[in-house]
Structure 1
Amino acid sequence: MGCQTSAELQASQIMLEDGDEKVVDRNSEKDPAGFGQTGQSETSKEITFLFLGISESGKTTIYKMLRNVFTAETGPPSMSEKQMILKDIKKYVFESLISVIKAMKSSDIDFERGSNQDTATKLLQLRPESFESSLTSLAGQMCGLWNDRGFIRAYRMLDDKKPFWNLPYYIDKLTEITGAEPPADENNVDTDYGFVPSDQDMSRIHASTISIHSEKVTVRGIYQCRLVDVGGLREERTTKWAQCFRNTSAVMYVIDCSAFDINLAEDSNKNRLLESLECFELLVSNRFLQGLSFVLFLNKQDVLLEKICKLNKRIYSRSTGFVGYSGFKLDEEEEKEIEKVITFEVIGMAGLTAKFIEYPVEDLTEYFKTRAFIKHMFETVFDSVRDLAALRLDSANELGKIIGASSPPSPFFRKNRTYQRSRRGHVFPYYIVAVEPDSVAKIFPDAVSNILKEYVHNAKLL
């Protein structure tokens, strides 16, 4: 099966227990959510964002980046935590290199240089529990693998099965990471610890989230936001997602836009982007999330750009599930973005602007069309599901069930219960590169503002 079924979601909803919550005061236009007001409880001053998405979508990366950019209540990661992450980085590099080497062997791909074959043999002989002590002496030789055409060929083949897009980033810093040479940044070293990973180093490392994480950050100096991150594997969706629906102010749904040609690790026959779309549909239709708005983080735009413009991959060539792409037309806003690129008036997000001018206009047009089409798919699902829900509410019987419910989905639903018939929520899409701090720092405050404006709008209609 692609995603958890409606029956599974309904079963998981039983896990929610009834209880009293503090209702947020949204009657003040100056401070619509009641944030920053004295004499209020901590719960009433918070707006809660629930980060959801399938595995490897980048939601935990955004969660970590927000924690660092906006200074979490618990403070930045400690030195011991950074050293643990450094070990994960080294393990990631080692396992990625081994996977590529094994892919070369299974596909009968030879190394361009015999010295690289010797390096590969040494890496294959290392034991997983003792590889870290040998990385320093092999750092230079491992960097040499990345300059081998045979290795690069196998790397690109392997990406169709499992994404290793962060490997080039770590290869460029490998001698620093392994301690073979001092860090280029003098502020990024400690006499007792050696190399200390930066925020971007830590955000790029992938580790599946297997529990519920919560953190509080302050946006624009006044708005207190609680961020909740939950694992995206199928098992996590079934057992943990519904536990976090209560008290949610908005859902931050993260999408890996570059996954149009990659299948799930859990199911080799299921496309990851289509799985994400199906999962999104179930969330939008979930009765505990009715009326809530969704923020769409269309993530990994840097990877999507490279796939379209450099590797010449196309969304329509890999799966018949992306219906309507051939006849899809860019809207006026997207056309203006392309015009800015052509005239070198690019105002793109951090990390992408400089890359736009590297590629032909035809390829860039295909990139803009692909990202716009992916956004269109999710917006269409949201509109269709919520419009259908509004029609169902016209039934007096259904309306009575909602009004008489003992445990509405959220305090916001409870306060605006009489307005639920016409309130359908909104979807706010953003193109984002989660590993770029500037991208996250710019987009998240805007997303918070949109949610707060909706609070004010609905308060006026009470």
Structure 2
Amino acid sequence: MGCFKVKSNDDDERERIETSKRIDKELGKCKQEYRSTHRLLLLGAGESGKSTVVKQMRILHVNGFSDEEKKRKIADIKRNIRDGIISIISAMSEINPPVHLHHPESQPSFDYCVNKKHEQEYDDVFFSHVSRLWKDPGVQECYDRSHEYQLIDCAKYFLDKVDDVRTPDYAPSSQDMLRCRVLTQGIFETRFTIEKVNFHMFDVGGQRDERRKWIQCFNDVTAIIFVVASSSYNMMLREDNSQNRLEEAVHLFQTIWNNRWLKTISVILFLNKQDLLREKILLGKSKLEDYFEDYKGYVCPEKVNDEPASVTSAKYFIRDLFIRISTATGEGKHYCYPHFTCAVDTENIKRVFNDCRDIIQRMHLRQYELI
């Protein structure tokens, strides 16, 4: 008769204890990893540049974009060109006073593009017509008045490159990837590590119908990065053509700042699109005081030697619209840290984010009551 080893109750108990220890150790490791991760929530109105900031984190800290990703992005870039030219030529008859084509020979290209505006595939013939249209002074004049209608920021950038994009061997550059505009819907998480510190950055759609999803991301947030399109002072909201975009950003910031769930969460303020703001101010066609009456009596608190006084004054006035909100209560439970940014400039974002890391670290330590 064979012999069987019977497992004793002591063996079962030892195994149970060892299993429990392993689980506790793993849970402790997960908890430590969770507590050591800096969670950053990117908020702001639509088209403020939030997704571009995320792309910069990928370029700077996640090895950029693969060849396959760049290849897939070509369709979106071509769509940006289509959307850009259609928006411009459609607005020519709608703005007041209207704008007309300068060259009669541009009319066939105009008609061709209008007829193709709902197409999803764009052949070389289409891009030939786009290229011809974009050179017409009437189209350029309408582009110069783009604050009077809705136009994506990257329109000029890609329309200037249309003859490159249409070639069969076109490969998007990092700058092309940054400039490409795709509407953010839902919540996207990007993870990266800087000097052994883990960051999770959450990008949430900024259009009004996307904002109801924001509350899903409020739990255990280390800091909020609020992104503002500073150059939007003369533009209307895409979702509501009666609402000034910069005013919308100010109201949105105030709502977030006073939200009872975020009373202890500090905000890093990215006053973005400084390049476009500078361009508009120096051009002088859209004066800031025509949209924000308080600017007439504004006294700039600082002087920057390497830029015109009008640009410095405009950007600090816009900054102060937000600072006034953050200092109104005087509670001191959370703080606002403003930075002037240009999200398509990799060196600028690298420098600004490096400046922010110490702030984020202090916020993180305060979050877990370590300071």
Q: The TM-score by the shorter chain falls in which range?
A: 0.7 to 0.9
SS in 1 for 2:57: helix
Matched, 1:228 2:137: no
Matched, 1:211 2:211: no
Matched, 1:329 2:329: no
Pick closer, same or farther for the CA change 1:44–1:117 going to 2, 3 Å: same
Contact 2:39–2:201 (CA under 8 A) maintained in structure 1: yes
Structure-1 residue corresponding to 2:233:
260
The count of corresponding residues between Structure 1 and Structure 2 is 341
Q: Residue 352 of structure 2: which of 443, 447, 450 is its match?
A: 443
Contact 1:65–1:199 (CA under 8 A) maintained in structure 2: no
Query: Following TM superposition, by how much is the alpha carbon of 1:248 offset from its aligned partner in structure 2, in angstroms?
Result: 0.3
Pick closer, same or farther for the CA change 1:459–1:78 going to 2, 3 Å: closer
Structure-2 residue corresponding to 1:60:
51
Pick closer, same or farther for the CA change 1:39–1:147 going to 2, 3 Å: closer
2:115 maps to amino acid? Q
1:290-345 deviation per Cα after TM superposition (whole angstroms, max 9, x unaligned)? 12110000001111111111243211113xxx3532222111xx31x1x234xxxx
Contact 2:225–2:269 (CA under 8 A) maintained in structure 1: yes
Q: Residue 452 of structure 1: which of 338, 345, 361 is its match?
A: 361
Query: Following TM superposition, by how much is the alpha carbon of 1:89 offset from its aligned partner in structure 2, in angstroms?
Result: 1.0
Query: Following TM superposition, by how much is the alpha carbon of 1:375 offset from its aligned partner in structure 2, in angstroms?
Result: 0.5
SS in 1 for 2:328: helix
SS in 2 for 1:375: helix
Task: Supply the distance in 2 between the matched residues of 1:130 and 1:212 (Cα, whole angstroms).
Answer: 26
Pick closer, same or farther for the CA change 1:67–1:115 going to 2, 3 Å: same
Task: Supply the distance in 2 between the matched residues of 1:461 and 1:178 (Cα, whole angstroms).
Answer: 56
Structure-1 residue corresponding to 2:103:
113
Contact 2:38–2:360 (CA under 8 A) maintained in structure 1: no
Task: Supply the distance in 2 between the matched residues of 1:121 and 1:86 (Cα, whole angstroms).
Answer: 25
Query: Following TM superposition, by how much is the alpha carbon of 1:283 offset from its aligned partner in structure 2, in angstroms?
Result: 0.7
SS in 2 for 1:232: coil
Task: Supply the distance in 2 between the matched residues of 1:441 and 1:428 (Cα, whole angstroms).
Answer: 16
Q: Residue 260 of structure 2: which of 278, 287, 301 is its match?
A: 287
Task: Supply the distance in 2 between the matched residues of 1:110 and 1:161 (Cα, whole angstroms).
Answer: 16
Q: CA RMSD in A?
A: 2.4
Query: Following TM superposition, by how much is the alpha carbon of 1:241 offset from its aligned partner in structure 2, in angstroms?
Result: 0.6
Pick closer, same or farther for the CA change 1:302–1:205 going to 2, 3 Å: same
Pick closer, same or farther for the CA change 1:104–1:39 going to 2, 3 Å: closer
Matched, 1:374 2:318: yes
Contact 2:85–2:134 (CA under 8 A) maintained in structure 1: no
Pick closer, same or farther for the CA change 1:455–1:241 going to 2, 3 Å: closer
Matched, 1:173 2:161: yes
2:220 maps to amino acid? N
Query: Following TM superposition, by how much is the alpha carbon of 1:118 offset from its aligned partner in structure 2, in angstroms?
Result: 2.3
Task: Supply the distance in 2 between the matched residues of 1:110 and 1:263 (Cα, whole angstroms).
Answer: 23
1:162-201 deviation per Cα after TM superposition (whole angstroms, max 9, x unaligned)? 1333222112321121116xxxxxxxxxxxxx32212221
1:434 maps to amino acid? A
Identity %: 27
Structure-2 residue corresponding to 1:86:
74
Query: Following TM superposition, by how much is the alpha carbon of 1:81 offset from its aligned partner in structure 2, in angstroms?
Result: 3.2
SS in 1 for 2:225: strand
Any gaps of 5 or more consecutive residues in structure 1?
1-37, 181-193, 342-363, 391-422
1:137-161 deviation per Cα after TM superposition (whole angstroms, max 9, x unaligned)? 3535533333322111222233322
1:79-136 deviation per Cα after TM superposition (whole angstroms, max 9, x unaligned)? 4433332111111111211221122244553222223222212222326335412xx2
1:117 maps to amino acid? Q
1:142 maps to amino acid? V
Which moved further from structure 2: 61-70 or 114-123? 114-123
Structure-1 residue corresponding to 2:289:
316
Any gaps of 5 or more consecutive residues in structure 2?
1-28
Task: Supply the distance in 2 between the matched residues of 1:151 and 1:53 (Cα, whole angstroms).
Answer: 31
Contact 2:61–2:192 (CA under 8 A) maintained in structure 1: yes
Task: Supply the distance in 2 between the matched residues of 1:424 and 1:83 (Cα, whole angstroms).
Answer: 47
Pick closer, same or farther for the CA change 1:142–1:232 going to 2, 3 Å: same
Task: Supply the distance in 1 between the matched residues of 2:37 and 2:370 (Cα, whole angstroms).
Answer: 22
Task: Supply the distance in 1 between the matched residues of 2:237 and 2:293 (Cα, whole angstroms).
Answer: 20
SS in 1 for 2:148: coil
Matches within 5 A, 1:339-350: 339-341=305-307
Contact 1:309–1:367 (CA under 8 A) maintained in structure 2: yes
Contact 1:165–1:303 (CA under 8 A) maintained in structure 2: no
Matched, 1:132 2:122: yes
Q: Residue 161 of structure 1: which of 135, 138, 149 is its match?
A: 149
Q: Residue 43 of structure 1: which of 30, 34, 51 is its match?
A: 34
Structure-2 residue corresponding to 1:365:
309
Pick closer, same or farther for the CA change 1:61–1:458 going to 2, 3 Å: closer
SS in 2 for 1:251: strand
Contact 1:61–1:203 (CA under 8 A) maintained in structure 2: yes
Task: Supply the distance in 2 between the matched residues of 1:260 and 1:198 (Cα, whole angstroms).
Answer: 30
Task: Supply the distance in 2 between the matched residues of 1:254 and 1:434 (Cα, whole angstroms).
Answer: 10
Pick closer, same or farther for the CA change 1:105–1:424 going to 2, 3 Å: same
